[in-house]
Amino acid sequence: MGYNTWNAYRCNINESVVIETADLMKSLGLQDAGYNYINLDDCYSEKTRNAAGDIVANRQRFPSGMNWLTDRIHKLGFKAGIYSDSGWFTCELYPGSYLNEDSDIKLFQDWGFDLLKYDNCAVPYDAVIKEGIIGKYTRMSNAIKNLSIKSGKPPILFSLCQWGRQQPWIWAKRLGQSWRTTGDIEARWHSLTYIMNENSFFAWSSDFYGRNDLDILEVGNGNLTYDEAKSHFTVWALMKSPLLISTHLASASEETLSILTNPEIIAINQDPVVGTSITPFRWGVNPDWTYNRTHPAQYWSGESQNGTVFMLLNTLDHPADMFFSLTESPWVRAGRQYAVRDLWSHTNNGTAVRNFTAHAVPAHGVVALLLTDDGDEPEGTMPPCARPEQCFGEDGTRVPEWFGSDMFPQVPIGL
């Protein structure tokens, strides 16, 4: 969790912007909410290395130097992140780290940085690099590990920015702590649904060893409605993506801050006991396992240390009721009732038995619930099984799937 300069400032960064942002992160309560990194993105350096072959901080925009900057960030109680690229150049054609991995990571450590975001632009010709995407990122991963051994310091956190084209959710866990899964985010609903849809198919790969990175948060930027911003933050948080703000905090609204600091949503993202993401249990608008960039899966569930998490995402352009059976989630026990906690209204909403309906979920809106076991369901709840397929009594009688009232007798097995 933290701040990244790219979406808000692009290349218009300098030491004053970075320190002002860190001050605002503290004064606006974002640090207290758990945001503890201040990360520089592209464009902080000179266009060329110095005579010794080192990256040089831009003299006009960072005249006090990077050690001064990281000292200030650390004194405010944050960690500091830096950016580089696995190719010849960064995406904005500043010096990349290819063939300079060992010296660059030592420089970043000497500058006082704690995290490296590592991009995928300006890839060398095949005849030069002679390795695939995994090997290209392995070079920096090995440099980080070797530096930690030599220096006796903890390894710099390694965040791979590979854009998902070669399935980093499968291999990147060997190399770093997070990996980008899709292209760059934009502050519009269809960009969010594209990312949600893509990640629905590999949400399983996030755990404590590393996280799918759905890209920087656009909450408070541009064209998102309040409900869309809530959906954006909820999906990112409950899917255990890194949460990196990139908005102009000096003009951040109370609505924006209330979304970014929701303690009950952040608690799921930062759960110290359960590291796995929520996953879809039903697609809703579309048949299950449907790939749809504009209408991703709507019904999601997962574990947490305090109960079962449910997320209902209304991808329609109008309000809708959203219904599900509790045991559609694999994390809910049959024959039990569940207390319902709404993670956005921060209210306890009674007890759910078998089913739950969220009424009039806003267009592009979200419902986030935490369900906790509240004992046996009431005696006599019918039908005998919430999910009637293969529902049997001890005497071998099967309850048919259409069983719903006393007018339908049980049918012995085999009939």
| Residues annotated catalytic, as ranges | 119, 184
Q: Are strands 178-180 and 157-160 parallel, antiparallel or unpaired?
A: parallel
CA distance 368 to 309: 7
Q: Find, among 264, 371, 249, 363, the residue nearest to 309 by Cα.
A: 371
Residue in the structure block whose two tokens are 């390894």: 155
- 3-state percent helix, strand, coil for the chain, nearest multiple of 5: 30, 25, 50
CA distance 46 to 66: 13
Give the DSSP H or E segment for 200: helix 189-200
What's the one-letter identity of residue 185?
Answer: I
Structure tokens at 163: 């854009």
Is the separation of the CB atoms in 218 and 224 below 8 Å? yes
CB-facing half-sphere around the CA of 381: CA atoms within 13 A: 15
CA distance 296 to 299: 10
CB atoms within 10 A of CB 292: 16
Name 39's bridge partners.
4, 81
Q: Find, among 285, 95, 257, the residue nearest to 196 by Cα.
A: 285
Q: Are strands 391-392 and 397-399 parallel, antiparallel or unpaired?
A: antiparallel
CA distance 250 to 147: 38
CA distance 339 to 352: 6
Residue in the structure block whose two tokens are 């050690």: 67
Using DSSP's 3-state secondary structure scheme, residue 150 falls into helix
CA distance 365 to 128: 49
Please list the alpha-helical segments (H only) found in 239-329.
Answer: 254-260, 263-269
